[in-house]
Structures are given as C-alpha cells and as structure tokens.
Amino acid sequence: MGEHIARRLHADGRRVVLADIAVDQAEQIAKDLSPDGATAVAMDLDVAHRDSFVDALAQIRERWGTPTIVVNNAARTQAADLMTLDEDSFNSVLNTNVNSIFFGCQVFGAAMAEEGFGRIVNMASLAGQNGGTATGAHYAASKGAILTTTKVFARELASAGVTVNAIAPGPHDLPVVKATVPPDKLAAVVAGIPVGKLGDAAFIADTVALLAADNAYFVTGACWDVNGGLYVR
C-alpha cells in the first residue's frame, strides 16, 4: 500500500520520503522514482518509538524543510487465535500500529502547526470498525485505536491549519492480504464482499492524494471507508 501511495504523490510532483524499518525495499522504490535522489529518498524509521520520529523529522528538515504531508501507513498485519493470543504478540502489533499513528501525528503535527499548514492521513482499517474479517484481535484493536487517535489530533491541530484524517480499507489486492489469509479461505473472503472483488490499492492512493490537497482544509477528523460494501454506515 505504501508503494502505491508514494508513487501517486510523487506523480503529483511531490517530493517523497519513504520511511520504513525494511529500508532496503524502500530504497529500491525511491531509486526507481528518482535515481539521483532529487525528489525521492528512503529513510530508516522504527515507528514503534517516538525518538525515531524526532530523528526522521530532523533529517527531513535538513534536506527539504518541514514536510506538508504525512501518511502514517506502517502496520503489522497478523492473524491470531483470540483466546490464546499471547502478551508479546499483542504488544508487538499494538506498539507498531498505534505508536506509529500517535507519535507520527504528535511529532510531525507539531512541526506542521508551527508552519500553519499540514495534511496527515492515517491508515486505519475495516477491522477497527467491525472487529475484523480475517485478521487477529490485536490488529483489530489497534486499528480501532487509530480511529480515535485521528479524532484527537484533528481537534487539536485544526486551528493551526493541519488536517488529520483516516482511511479504512477493507480487503485489498495486495501481497499482505494474500500472505495473511490462507489461499483456501481467500475465496470465501472475496465471496463475502458485496461488490465481489478485492479492492484496488491505486484507489487508496488516489484518496490519500485527495485528502492531502491544498483545498482539503474542510475535511478533518473523518474516516473514509473503502470496503466494497462490507461495512455500511
């Protein structure tokens, strides 16, 4: 999903930093987008820790100044049995999925507020709304927390010209979905989607670009659902 988003924003003329703990893959995408590093670079970032965001902000400011767009997309997507889920597994997913959103909004949101403009988009999930379709309870709980965190920072940063919104995708045609859901169960998941097919990640990227636009100032604290009709409200 992150690659689709990065490519879409770069195609719009944005300079892009691809931040990931798996920096090798991020570097490959950045070099593909900008071989000389003029408009796209990769950065090592462990989203489970606040200090990592502080360091990342300092590096970005030194290179290009305070960013105007942040997409908090990092996540651990795992399936697990509810009643035997152990503490370490629970904490590893929550630390990645929730810390990344909270400290991403806190650190970068404050920097954007100083400049009087910013767009933050948090990647939530259908699992945080309906309790999960094919993922573990720890993943669903983390994504529910993201929705609340989005509202908290949207209220805090609105007067400073910074919007904070979430996107809640259902199952999409991505390697992570196929790695999480066993092949013998994926067909049943697709059959249960009212539109009859997995989502297109390119549309999520388009949605991010729309929420990041300069004239998107009147949308904040919102969650945009992209789930094929699995959750209707």
**Number of domain units in the chain:** 1
9, part of any domain: no
User: Containing domain of residue 87, as a range?
Assistant: 66-226
Active site residue 231: no
What is the average per-residue pLDDT within 201-207?
A: 98
Catalytic residue among 53, 102, 108, 139: 139
Q: Which residues pair with residue 165 across a beta bridge?
A: 121
CA-to-CA distance for 34 and 231, rounded, in angstroms?
A: 39
- What span, in angstroms and rounded, lies between the C-alpha atoms of 187 and 169? 18
Structure confidence at residue 139 (pLDDT): 92
Question: For the domain that residue 117 is a member of, what is the CATH number?
Answer: 3.40.50.720
Residue 48 lies in a domain: no
Residue 181 confidence class, pLDDT cut points 50, 70, 90? confident
pLDDT in tens, 18-70: 999 989 999 999 999 999 999 999 999 999 999 999 999 999 999 999 999 99
**Three-class secondary structure assignment of the chain:** CHHHHHHHHHHCCCCEEEEECCHHHHHHHHHHHCCCCCCEEEEECCCCCHHHHHHHHHHHHHHHCCCCEEEECCCCCCCCCHHHCCHHHHHHHHHHHHHHHHHHHHHHHHHHHHHCCEEEEEECCCHHHHCCCCCCHHHHHHHHHHHHHHHHHHHHHHHHCEEEEEEEECCECCHHHHHHCCHHHHHHHHHCCCCCCCECHHHHHHHHHHHCCCCCCCCCCCEEEECCCCCCC
Q: Residue 160's pLDDT is what?
A: 98
Assign 87 a pLDDT band (cuts: 50, 70, 90): very high
Kindly provide the b/e burial profile for residues 74-85, where b requires at least 16 CB atoms within 10 angstroms of the residue's own CB.
Answer: bbbbbbbeeeee
130 part of a folded domain:
yes
Domain presence at residue 113: yes
The answer to whether residue 16 sits within a structural domain is: no
202 located within any domain: yes
Q: What percent of the chain has pLDDT over 90?
A: 85
Alpha carbons 68 and 199: distance in angstroms, whole number: 28
pTM value is 0.95
pLDDT, one tens digit per residue, over 124-167 is 999 999 998 667 899 999 999 999 999 999 999 999 999 999 99
| Interatomic CA distance for residues 93 and 194, integer angstroms | 29
